């Protein structure tokens, strides 16, 4: 297990979040940070914790722990099936916090709570922020909270010591990207294409320009690309553009197909994706 990277956990110095430390470590190693996604509770809490351990063994830096939701409007078929399985197994937000606590005890992954806002509102924003911090989570990403509405909820997450991560997309204006970056810490998440999540075999042609605009808005804040990255080739292409690469549907689909072999299959795919995030060394002339 990698050494935990919060300075405050050791009781000295100014707090540096695990998310910031993960990006710094990846940069120092000449690669993009690898950010994996799992739907919490799919197919069970024990399986989720075991898959988190497999992802760390494969070299993942950050884990987005998805809260299953009954109306996942931004999710494609793979994620919808995963949410249905998790909800059928009785997964609740309190259960997700319990899984996060176990993952924090067993790994050094930076952990992001990935959720639609409704489960958070039902739980209570302040209570959810306290529970997330107590469970060892490091950040939160609310997929359906735009910058215009973020100031109503994000200060409570910040007060609990959590990073807040917002989404931008190819259709985001420069002003909206600037607002999202101003309200973000940890990293700024670039959605590679409009529409729902899902596996793709190539990235959009306009993605380099979208990332350039996002980087201008983000300034020193790391930028990560997600949605549609599912193969080493697409991961390599994304890593050449951004500081982080997010993969969700491909890993969830591999777990779904894997049955009793799900851990080995997810670990194998994740290793290939992590390797693809390494940038070629530049040779001196």
Listed residue (264, 241, 242, 236) closest to 251, CA to CA = 264
Query: 64, 179, 256, 267: which is the annotated catalytic residue?
Result: 64
Q: Assess whether 272 carries a catalytic annotation.
A: no
Contacts of 163 (CB under 8 A, 6+ apart): 17, 19, 20, 112, 138, 139, 140, 184, 185, 186
DSSP β-ladder status, 33-39 and 244-247: parallel
Rg (CA), the chain: 17
User: Which among 42, 75, 138, 179 is annotated as catalytic?
Assistant: 75
7 catalytic? Reply is no
Cα–Cα distance measured from residue 121 to residue 167, given in angstroms and rounded to the nearest whole number: 19
What token pair was written down for 177?
């990207």
Please return the burial class of 176, using the count of CB atoms within 10 Å of its CB with bins 0-12, 13-18 and 19+.
middle
Q: Helix or strand or coil: residue 204?
A: coil
DSSP string, 231-275: SHHHHHHHHTTSSEEEE-HHHHHHHHHHGGGHHHHHHHHHHHHHH
Known catalytic residues are 64, 75
């Amino acid at each position: 297990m990698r050494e935990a990277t919060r300075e405050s956990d050791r009781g000295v110095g100014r707090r540096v979040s695990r998310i910031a430390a993960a990006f710094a470590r990846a940069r120092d190693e000449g690669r993009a940070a690898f950010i994996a996604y799992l739907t919490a509770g799919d197919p069970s809490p024990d399986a989720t914790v075991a898959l988190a351990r497999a992802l760390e063994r494969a070299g993942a830096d950050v884990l987005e722990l998805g809260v299953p939701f009954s109306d996942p409007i931004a999710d494609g078929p793979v994620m919808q099936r995963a949410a249905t399985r998790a909800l059928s197994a009785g997964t609740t937000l309190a259960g997700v916090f319990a899984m996060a606590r176990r993952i924090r005890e067993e790994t050094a992954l930076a952990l992001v709570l990935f959720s639609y806002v409704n489960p958070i509102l039902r739980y209570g924003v302040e209570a959810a922020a306290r529970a997330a911090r107590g469970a060892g989570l490091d950040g939160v990403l609310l997929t359906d909270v735009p910058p215009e509405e973020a100031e109503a909820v994000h200060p409570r997450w910040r007060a609990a010591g959590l990073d807040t991560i917002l989404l931008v997309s190819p259709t985001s204006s420069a002003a909206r990207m600037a607002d999202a970056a101003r309200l973000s810490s940890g990293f700024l998440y670039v959605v590679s294409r409009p529409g729902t999540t899902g596996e793709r075999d190539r990235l959009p042609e306009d993605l380099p320009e979208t990332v350039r605009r996002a980087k201008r808005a983000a300034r020193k804040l790391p930028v990560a690309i997600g949605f549609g990255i599912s193969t080493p080739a697409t991961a390599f292409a994304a890593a050449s553009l951004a500081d982080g690469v997010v993969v969700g549907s491909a890993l969830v689909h591999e777990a779904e197909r894997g049955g009793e072999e799900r851990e080995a299959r997810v670990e194998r795919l994740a290793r290939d994706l992590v390797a693809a995030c390494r940038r070629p060394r530049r040779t001196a002339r």
